[in-house]
Amino acid sequence: MKYIYAAIMALFLILITEGCKNETEKELCLLRKEFIVPPDGARPGVYWYFMDGNLSKEGMTKDLESMKQEGIGFVVFLEVNVGVPRGKVDFLSDEWKECFKHAVKECERLGITMILGIGPGWTGSGGPWVKADQSMRHLVSSSTQVSGAGIKTIQLEKPAPKPPYFGEGTFTPELKEKWLDYYEDVAVLAFPSTNGQAAIKDIDEKALYYRAPYSSVPGVKQYIPREIQNEPAKPGEGIAENQIIDLTSLLKDGSITWDVPNGEWTIMRFGIRNNGAVTRPAPFPGIGFECDKSDTTALLAHLDVFTEELFSVIGERNPESTGGLKILHMDSWEMGAQNWAPRLREEFKKRRGYDPQPYFTVYAGYIVGNKDISERFLWDLRQTMQDLMLENHALAVKNYAARHGMQLSIEPYDMNPMQDLELGAIADIPMCEFWSPGGYNTSFSAIEGSSLANIKGQRVLPSEAFTASGDGWRQHPASMKNQTDWAFAAGINRLTYHTFQHQSLPDSIRPGMTMGGYGIHWDRNQTWWPYADAYHTYVSRCQMMLQYGVTVADVLYLAPEEAPFVFKAPASALGNDSYLPDKKGYNFDVCPPTLFQSAFMEDGYITFHSGMKYRLLVLPDFKMMTPKMIHKMEALIKDGAIVVGLPPVSVPGLTDYPNADKQIAESVNRIWGGYDIPEGLVSNKYGNGRIYWGSDIVNNSENLYPSYDITSAVLKKMNVCEDFSADNDCLRYIHKKSRK
């Protein structure tokens, strides 16, 4: 019966396509055709999880055939250890590789796209093959007090490693030994000791020692605030820059012989240690250090052992198949931060224009110069590390994937020491995440992900969907309807259900293999699974429609030049449900600094090459902006952009300081007319555009940005109406238009 139905549908599709004449009709005909039989790219996906050694070729085939039969088009292949007893097929053993090859070939046969994580576990890139000097590392220090004057031989304590964020329990005995043993000296600096030395607050965050999970740990900052202080250091507050003495050349076997000047001196020994990040939650044979995220050499050494080995086992891929291994994947960033890189000093000089070594004491919380100078150095450090991790890790993985004819998807959030948006912008396919009700609130990632997809013109925005802990088998399509509608209205157009657990056990054992307490059990052992095809077809039709066209939005929020940074829209721009936040009538996106440089004006709209157009640019009240950023914004305003926001007061770093601060002030005087904030909400005309600012913004801001009332008032002055409204906010919406 199924074959008769398929033949009738094929004939019907040929007939409706033949009736299409012009381009518009052809587009409509294609929509009708793909609505009736959604293409493979519109199908939903699943996280296909394997539990530490529990694999079977027979189970893989049954899994994939059931997915194909019920309308699943994508699988994310990950192997983890979440407490389920280990199986007999050790990770990366010859038997394991043959199982993996079988899975890839079955995906090719069935037309299912496989997405492979770039390391064992669900996060990161590492394993037992990663050496300590290829791993993520911190700059650590010890302090020794000494009195002058005269020649003295001084033993300097070897700096201890920082405690791992997830504790030492994540180590195997061998890894713990390597973690304790690894150490390399970097520098020795001395300076006059001061009584009552002030310390920089939150130095572990500011110096990238730790970045806690934003979604799951209360109180993790959206960005790192800082105190602007341009006054000279108060007596005893900071170390004068010209009083720091470099004693590195004197270090031998942990001690120095130094002709100590008069007075009390502090000597600091600096070295690098492993940061304690290990693959997690990896299958036992895959537990090892995370590779250095700032060094392409370390990354490629890891990939040579992992993906390169798998590619050689798979052999030649079937070029005619719509399925098979097509995408590499970086899941949510959960390996934390690092603040050291190979050649960091040279890279820092090249990118920031000055030597960071005299400021190494700031890593430990000491103030050099004054608080403002020290905070500027820390900003430069975070930006340099972000640059290196984006270029030498994320972009390097993308280029590696491209060399193998593949794409890269990235979930760019959680313990990310970079700006989420900048990491996501690297991806061929940015990805987001949302949990089932009662789980972690990661709805912010949907706004970040949809913004990136819109600005870059990427038709597909996948999402890890309905992630859960302790839900059991309670979820089903009807219970998920409200959240599914929210996801589609938020811009998500490829649901990737968490999770389809690989069933390595015989069919007689039910409910079979699980991922412990995780996931909503979207797998073939669900009681309703044999009837899921109709539901998946409905989802595929929705996703097909949502993958067409260009999103319509009026407001573009500009993300600050800051790392780490998580975008949170003004609460007033969203509905009352913070877990499922619906946008109000003026739709919006957020743009990272890098992508902002490609914006241009066209017909009064802030425009991107993707076809996205915005009526209004809204600035963050971040107080700091680089000359490159303010000059770009100034050019857009001259060309007709309408902007809302307060002026920056300085540059964030020490590059070309203090001349760069003067450039900011000159631009502010041209655009805003100065720093004296006017009463209410007023506009300054500049070139063909305008800047709106005033005390109303100061008094009505949320999460760095003006409230919805402010932006909507400006849009109404521009005669731009809300795109959609409904009585009692009872309907969700998303507005898309044809690309032509």
Separation of alpha carbons 50 and 91, rounded Å: 10
List the single range of 22-26, 197-201, 543-547 with lowest mean pLDDT. Answer: 22-26
611 vs 576 pLDDT, higher one: 611
pLDDT of res. 11? 40
Separation of alpha carbons 308 and 401, rounded Å: 11
Query: Which amino acid, 476?
Result: H
Question: Does the N-terminal peptide bond of residue 149 adopt cis geometry, omega within 30 degrees of 0?
Answer: yes
Structural Rg of the chain based on CA atoms: 28
pLDDT of res. 20? 64
Q: Name the strand (E) or helix (H) holding 711.
A: helix 708-717
Q: Of all residues in the chain, what percent carry a pLDDT higher than 70? A: 95
Residue 15's pLDDT band (boundaries 50, 70, 90)? very low
The answer to whether residue 9 scores a pLDDT higher than 50 is no
pLDDT of res. 230? 53
Q: Three-state SS for 404?
A: coil
pLDDT of res. 13? 47
Q: What is the pLDDT of residues 272-296, one digit of tens each?
A: 999 999 999 999 999 999 999 999 9
- Burial level of 286, CB count in 10 A (0-12/13-18/19+)? buried
Alpha helices, H only, 257-295: none
Mean of the pLDDT values across residues 338-359?
Answer: 98
pLDDT of res. 65? 99
Query: Which amino acid, 31?
Result: L
Mean of the pLDDT values across residues 259-274?
Answer: 98
- Burial level of 687, CB count in 10 A (0-12/13-18/19+)? middle
Q: What is the pLDDT of residues 558-595, one digit of tens each?
A: 999 999 999 999 999 999 899 999 999 999 999 999 99
The answer to whether residue 329 scores a pLDDT higher than 60 is yes
Q: What is the pLDDT of residues 380-400, one digit of tens each?
A: 999 999 999 999 999 999 999
The answer to whether residue 727 scores a pLDDT higher than 80 is yes
Separation of alpha carbons 653 and 352, rounded Å: 8
Angle between helices 659-671 and 627-638 (to 10 degrees): 20
pLDDT of res. 229? 52
Mean of the pLDDT values across residues 646-651?
Answer: 98
Q: What is the pLDDT of residues 500-558, one digit of tens each?
A: 999 999 999 999 999 999 999 999 999 999 999 999 999 999 999 999 999 999 999 99
Residue 207's pLDDT band (boundaries 50, 70, 90)? very high
Residue 233's pLDDT band (boundaries 50, 70, 90)? low
Separation of alpha carbons 541 and 38, rounded Å: 6
Q: How many CB atoms lie within 10 A of CB 242?
A: 8
pLDDT of res. 7? 45
The phi and psi torsions of 16 (rounded to 5 degrees) equal -70, -30
Look up tokens 């000491």; give the residue: 366
The answer to whether residue 346 scores a pLDDT higher than 80 is yes
User: pTM, whole model, 2 decimals?
Assistant: 0.95
- Burial level of 150, CB count in 10 A (0-12/13-18/19+)? exposed
pLDDT of res. 12? 45
Q: What is the pLDDT of residues 161-189, one digit of tens each?
A: 999 999 999 999 999 999 999 999 999 99
Question: Does the N-terminal peptide bond of residue 266 adopt cis geometry, omega within 30 degrees of 0?
Answer: no
Q: Of all residues in the chain, what percent carry a pLDDT higher than 90? A: 89
Q: What is the DSSP letter of 86?
A: P
Q: Which among 546, 587, 596, 594 has a CA at the least distance from the CA of 569?
A: 587
- Return the bridge partners of 189, or none: 246, 268
pLDDT of res. 1? 45
Q: Three-state SS for 113?
A: strand
The answer to whether residue 740 scores a pLDDT higher than 80 is no
List the single range of 367-376, 410-419, 490-499, 729-738 with lowest mean pLDDT. Answer: 729-738
pLDDT of res. 371? 92
pLDDT of res. 361? 98
The answer to whether residue 339 scores a pLDDT higher than 90 is yes
Q: Three-state SS for 358?
A: helix
- Return the bridge partners of 199, or none: 366
Mean of the pLDDT values across residues 390-418?
Answer: 98
Q: How many CB atoms lie within 10 A of CB 180?
A: 14
Query: Which amino acid, 14?
Result: I
Q: What is the pLDDT of residues 453-482, one digit of tens each?
A: 999 999 999 999 999 999 889 999 999 999
pLDDT of res. 26? 82
Contacts of 379 (CB under 8 A, 6+ apart): 226, 562, 624, 652, 653
Query: Which amino acid, 685?
Result: K
pLDDT of res. 8? 43
Q: Three-state SS for 247?
A: coil
Mean of the pLDDT values across residues 232-257?
Answer: 89
pLDDT of res. 235? 62
- Return the bridge partners of 137, or none: 274
pLDDT of res. 87? 98
- The tokens describing 43, both together, are 């199908």
CATH number of the domain at 551-737, out of 2.40.30, 3.40.50, 3.30.70, 2.60.40?
3.40.50
Separation of alpha carbons 417 and 335, rounded Å: 10
- The tokens describing 225, both together, are 């605030």
Q: Which among 131, 207, 118 has a CA at the least distance from the CA of 162?
A: 207
Query: How high is the mean pLDDT of the chain?
Result: 95
Contact predicate 677/725, CB 8 Å = no
Residue 232's pLDDT band (boundaries 50, 70, 90)? low
**Taking the domain 43-118+306-333+411-533, which CATH number applies?**
3.20.20.80
Residue 234's pLDDT band (boundaries 50, 70, 90)? low
